[in-house]
């Protein structure tokens, strides 16, 4: 029936029903038949109930052609019911169902910051594809992901949703997620449309406070904050979302330069831009508009094509058209972009979802295996002294302490889609199961959690530690209120009585391993100085316990790397590896020189640098070779070195390539990541690892804001973090 309907619509548009029909001509014909209110209906997105049900008013709006999209309406039964109402409308234009599928739909994967820590874009792409398959089975055809904001401030709660501080890593992960969600054709199979957000520089909010203003130079925008978005667009991202915050005085939802000039103009983006939740209405609070009509006018003029939740387009745009305050062409362009994505998503051809298909797709064994694998690869071993981890052969009894150990919901992390705590394997369950297989006794004492609670019993934990051979403390954040949107923190220390718990456990004198569940770097100075091991788990997802058990007991070796620099103190923030040198950098030969860019009470360096992470093995990197010493600015350079596993276990290492241009027309960072490769080696094995960088990727925006690669001398490092490494030099020539 729907294919016949599509054919009729094409014929009404003056085209044919063949596969070669020009979509734009079809859209022309459809727009020509639409009333102004029907056009505005396509630009309206409304929110469903939290449990996935549509609201009663949605049905009437859909039948009247006055609703273009929903968010949070999901499930094959519910989406099909509402879709049928839309198909009963005069023009039979289908709805687009969206949902926040940030790191999984029902099978939950590690949070995006954890996924980025894997330095494994292929695995991240597979996870996004699995999330798309589950989403589509439930009627969801559009995800508000990936979030590709660069974040240099861990106080910002939404750092957990992105890939961290680096433009290159962020770009690689953005492309991987877009490919995973959309595949080559998001109308087919089990794919859905992606949405790159938040355009732009939302992660640069002052003081790390959500929704706050940002002041960022155009060069920094183009060289740091824009690249992941541009890569997402080049990967085919169907949609973009405007940012809540104002950038250099203009909110993202009213920023014509961002949306019309850069995104749609320079980059040729032909999908549509959706506002963030009520951000059109919030233009009044920003002071950009005096009332709803002014807010609607500003957003439409800026190029925001769809309004999320607030209803200022529907309530004001017809009058604005009549007064000549917005042009008919502006309205038609927005409608065209929305219809274009609906066509590309296959909604006109097949708007419905197979009923009951969820049961065959959700929580498929291969999805759960993938969730576990990505979690294992995302763990970052920050410290490991005296062989504290993995659990040794002499260990017969382990104390596990910390409320988070048994918290199945916390393991899922924030923005966990339709994930259910009942599906999750807690850290305690995973450790207990693996210990039982080895004949090791596990005791559990709650001790303390992220929230101070009457059930805290630190003295009981300390007493139990006395009888253990190894103490494992699971500490961190509660994702329900300490991570994600509206979860900025001024204090990054362990909350509740967790620090007190760690001190009491360490006082037992028993080896202490700290497992950290968080969506950002926390103040772990005490653990770094006093614990035997510190393993960052992020929020690992549905298979958290299985993955943690494998890592703690040595079935796998942690091999993740930090996607964000780990500060020693909040006072260092922002701290990031690819900073500028300045005119008075700290001289390593004279570090006490007061007249340098330094603190008098703290080192400049982070506690743990970007790209850092240990393994249970020991790797060496030797014999750096460059493919050439001079290369044209349009050529490429290849660097290689011999990576050797000198330890006794199979493990992964991530080889990273950094460059620095020593002099240029504008100041350049001290180093920039330009390539990486994750390699698995058996004990005693070696492999020559080669990484290639095209010189056009070494450019920057000059004083005229034009992108260029300047000839000159470059330093290149091949290493295993953003500090140190094998060093070489090459020259770029015209």
pLDDT in tens, 532-578: 999 999 999 999 999 999 999 999 999 999 999 999 999 999 999 99
pLDDT score of 14: 36
In this structure, the answer to whether residues 448 and 524 fall within a common structural domain is yes
The whole-angstrom separation of Cα 168 and Cα 147 is 15
Around Cβ 463, how many Cβ atoms within 10 Å?
14
User: Would you call 42 helix, strand, or coil by DSSP?
Assistant: helix
Average pLDDT over residues 497-522: 98
Give the model's pLDDT for residue 455: 84
Same domain, 523 and 598: no
- What's 586's DSSP letter? P
Residue 246 has pLDDT above 70, yes or no: yes
Q: Would residue 432 count as lying in a domain?
A: yes
Q: How many domains does the chain have?
A: 4
Contact 471, 398 (CB under 8 A): yes
Q: Are residues 411 and 336 in the same domain?
A: no
Helix ranges restricted to H, 206-311: 218-220, 227-234, 256, 283-286, 292-302
Report helix, strand or coil for 429: helix
Residue 591 has what pLDDT? 86
Confidence of residue 19 (pLDDT cuts 50, 70, 90): very low
- Model pLDDT, residue 20: 35
Same domain as 405, residue 339: no
Q: Do 675 and 591 share a structural domain?
A: no
CA distance 427 to 207: 33
Whether 2 is covered by a domain: the verdict is no
**449 and 540 share one domain:** yes
What is the tens place of the pLDDT at every residue in 341-374? 999 999 999 999 999 999 999 999 999 999 999 9
Q: Annotate 708-729 with b (16+ C-beta within 10 A) or e (fewer).
A: ebbebebebbbbbbbbebeebe
Q: Is residue 20 part of a domain?
A: no
Asked if the structure places residue 22 within a domain, the reply is no
For the ranges 1-10, 358-367, 619-628, 640-649, the lowest mean pLDDT is seen at 1-10
The average confidence (pLDDT) of the chain is 96
Q: What is the mean pLDDT of residues 507-534?
A: 98
> Has residue 336 been placed in a domain?
yes
pLDDT digits (tens, 9 = 90+) for 256-278: 999 999 999 999 999 999 999 99
* Same domain (yes/no): 166, 253: yes
Is 107's pLDDT higher than 90?
yes
Does any domain span residue 393? yes
Quick check: is 532 in a domain?
Answer: yes
Q: Of 100, 166, 223, 276, which residue is the catalytic one?
A: 276
Per-residue pLDDT at 592: 87
Question: Residue 512 pLDDT > 60, yes or no?
Answer: yes
For residue 624, give the CATH number of its domain: 2.60.40.10
Q: 182, 128 in Cβ contact below 8 A?
A: no
- pTM score: 0.96
Bridge partners of 98, per DSSP, are 71, 142
The mean pLDDT of 94-121, rounded to a whole number, is 98
Q: Which of 131, 168, 143, 304 is nearest to 237 (CA)?
A: 143
pLDDT tens string 685-720: 999 999 999 999 999 999 999 999 999 999 999 999
Do 115 and 213 reside in the same domain of the chain?
yes
Q: How far apart are CA 622 and CA 124, in angstroms?
A: 30
Give φ, ψ of 581 to 5 degrees: -80, -40
d(CA 535, CA 558): 9
Q: Is the pLDDT at 626 greater than 70, yes or no?
A: yes
276 is catalytic: yes
Residue partners of 241: CB distance under 8 A and separation at least 6: 144, 195, 196, 197, 198, 199, 273, 274, 275, 276
Q: Coil, strand, or helix at residue 378?
A: helix
Whether residues 111 and 141 fall in one domain: yes
Identify the CATH number of the domain in which residue 515 sits.
3.40.50.1700
Q: Please check whether residue 48 lies inside any domain of the structure.
A: no
Domain that holds residue 389: 379-567
- Give me 481's structure tokens: 């209120």
> Would the pLDDT of 435 be above 80?
yes
Mean pLDDT of 512-519: 98
274 token code pair: 């959706």
- pLDDT at position 29, please? 96
Q: Which residues contact 175 (CB under 8 A, 6 or more apart)?
A: 121, 231, 232, 234, 235
Query: Phi/psi at 390 (nearest 5 deg)?
Result: -75, 175
In eight-state DSSP terms, residue 262 is I
Percent of the chain topping pLDDT 90: 95
Secondary element (H or E) of residue 410: helix 408-412
Pair (508, 622) in one structural domain: no
Q: How confident is the model at residue 22 (pLDDT cuts 50, 70, 90)?
A: confident
By CB atoms closer than 10 A (0-12, 13-18, 19+), residue 248 is: middle
- Same domain flag for 302 and 407: no
User: What is the per-residue pLDDT for 688?
Assistant: 98
Contacts of 463 (CB under 8 A, 6+ apart): none
Judge contact between 257 and 226, C-beta under 8 A: no
What CATH number did the domain enclosing 302 receive? 3.20.20.300
Q: Which of 307, 375, 363 is nearest to 71 (CA)?
A: 307
730: Cβ contacts below 8 Å, ≥ 6 apart:
626, 628, 629, 630, 631, 637, 713, 714, 716
Tokens of 321: 């058209």
- Greatest Cα-to-Cα distance within the chain, rounded to the nearest angstrom: 82
Q: Residues 118-168: pLDDT tens digits?
A: 999 999 999 999 999 999 999 999 999 999 999 999 999 999 999 999 999
Task: Return the bridge partners of 398, or none.
Answer: 442, 470
User: Do 327 and 195 fall into the same domain?
Assistant: yes
Q: 688: exposed, middle or buried (C-beta count within 10 Å: 0-12, 13-18, 19+)?
A: exposed
| Average of per-residue pLDDT across 324-352 | 97
Helix axes 312-322, 328-344, angle to 10 degrees: 140
User: Looking at residue 94, what is its pLDDT?
Assistant: 98
Q: DSSP letters of 225-249? A: ISHHHHHHHHTT-SEEEE-SSEETT
Amino acid 21: pLDDT: 53
**Residue 413 CA: distances (Å) to CA of 244, 375, 429:** 23, 12, 17
Q: Is the pLDDT of residue 1 over 80?
A: no
């Amino acid at each position: 029936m729907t294919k016949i309907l599509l054919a009729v619509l094409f014929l009404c548009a003056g085209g044919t029903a063949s596969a070669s029909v020009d979509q734009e001509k079809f859209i022309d014909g459809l727009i020509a038949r639409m009333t102004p209110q029907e056009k505005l209906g396509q630009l309206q997105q409304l929110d469903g109930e939290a449990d996935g049900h549509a609201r009663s008013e949605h049905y009437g709006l859909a039948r009247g052609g006055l609703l273009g999209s929903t968010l949070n309406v999901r499930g094959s039964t519910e989406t099909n019911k509402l879709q049928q109402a839309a198909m009963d409308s005069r023009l039979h234009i289908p709805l687009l169902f969206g949902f926040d599928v940030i790191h999984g739909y029902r099978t939950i994967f590690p949070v995006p910051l954890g996924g980025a820590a894997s330095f494994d874009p292929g695995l991240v792409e597979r996870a996004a594809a699995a999330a798309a398959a589950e989403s589509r089975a439930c009627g969801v055809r559009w995800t508000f992901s990936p979030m590709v904001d660069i974040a240099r401030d861990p106080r910002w709660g939404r750092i957990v949703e992105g890939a961290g501080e680096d433009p290159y890593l962020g770009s690689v992960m953005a492309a991987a997620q877009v490919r995973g969600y959309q595949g080559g054709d998001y109308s087919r199979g089990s794919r859905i449309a992606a949405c790159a957000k938040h355009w732009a520089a939302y992660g640069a909010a002052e003081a790390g406070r959500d929704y706050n203003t940002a002041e960022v130079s155009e060069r920094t925008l183009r060289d740091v904050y824009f690249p992941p978005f541009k890569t997402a667009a080049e990967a085919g991202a169907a949609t973009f979302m405007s940012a809540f915050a104002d950038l250099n005085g203009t909110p993202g939802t009213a920023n014509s330069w961002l949306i019309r000039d850069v995104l749609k103009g320079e980059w040729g983006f032909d999908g549509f831009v959706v506002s963030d939740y009520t951000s059109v209405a919030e233009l009044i609070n920003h002071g950009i508009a005096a009332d709803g009509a002014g807010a609607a006018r500003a957003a439409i003029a800026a190029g925001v094509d769809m309004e999320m939740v607030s209803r200022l387009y529907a309530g004001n745009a017809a009058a604005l058209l009549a007064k000549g305050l917005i042009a008919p062409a502006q309205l038609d362009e927005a409608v065209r972009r929305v219809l274009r994505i609906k066509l590309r998503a296959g909604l006109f051809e097949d708007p419905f979802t197979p009923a009951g298909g969820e049961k065959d797709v959700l929580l498929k064994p291969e999805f759960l295996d993938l969730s576990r694998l990505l979690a294992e690869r995302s763990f970052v071993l920050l410290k490991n002294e005296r062989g504290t981890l993995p659990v040794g052969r002499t260990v017969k009894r382990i104390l596990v302490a910390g409320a988070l150990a048994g918290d199945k919901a916390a393991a899922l992390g924030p923005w966990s889609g339709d994930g259910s705590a009942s599906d999750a394997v807690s850290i305690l369950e995973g450790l207990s199961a693996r210990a039982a297989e080895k004949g090791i006794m596990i005791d559990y004492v709650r001790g303390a959690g992220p929230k101070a609670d009457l059930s805290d019993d630190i003295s009981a934990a300390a007493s139990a530690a006395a009888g253990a051979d190894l103490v494992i403390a699971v500490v961190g954040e509660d994702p329900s209120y300490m991570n994600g949107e509206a979860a900025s923190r001024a204090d990054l220390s362990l909350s509740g009585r967790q620090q007190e718990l760690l001190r009491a456990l360490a006082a037992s004198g028993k080896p202490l391993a700290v497992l950290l569940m968080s969506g950002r770097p926390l103040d772990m100075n005490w653990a770094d100085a006093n614990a035997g091991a510190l393993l960052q788990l992020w929020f690992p997802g549905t298979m958290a316990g299985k993955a943690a058990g494998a890592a703690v007991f040595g079935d796998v070796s942690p091999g993740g790397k930090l996607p964000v620099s780990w500060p020693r103190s909040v006072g260092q923030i922002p701290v990031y590896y690819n900073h500028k040198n300045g005119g008075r950098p700290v001289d390593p030969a004279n570090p006490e020189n007061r007249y340098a860019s330094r603190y008098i009470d703290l080192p400049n360096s982070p506690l743990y640098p970007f790209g850092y992470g240990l393994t249970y093995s020991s790797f060496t990197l030797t014999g750096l070779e460059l493919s050439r010493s001079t290369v044209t600015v349009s050529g490429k350079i290849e660097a290689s070195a011999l990576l050797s596993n000198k330890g006794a276990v199979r493990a992964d290492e991530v080889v990273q390539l950094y460059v620095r241009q020593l002099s240029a027309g504008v100041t350049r960072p001290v180093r920039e990541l330009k390539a990486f490769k994750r390699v698995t080696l058996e004990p005693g094995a070696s492999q020559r690892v080669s990484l290639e960088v095209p010189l056009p990727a070494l450019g920057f925006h000059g004083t005229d804001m034009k992108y260029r690669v300047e000839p000159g001398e470059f330093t290149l490092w091949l290493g295993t973090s953003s500090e140190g490494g094998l060093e070489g030099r090459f020259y770029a020539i015209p």
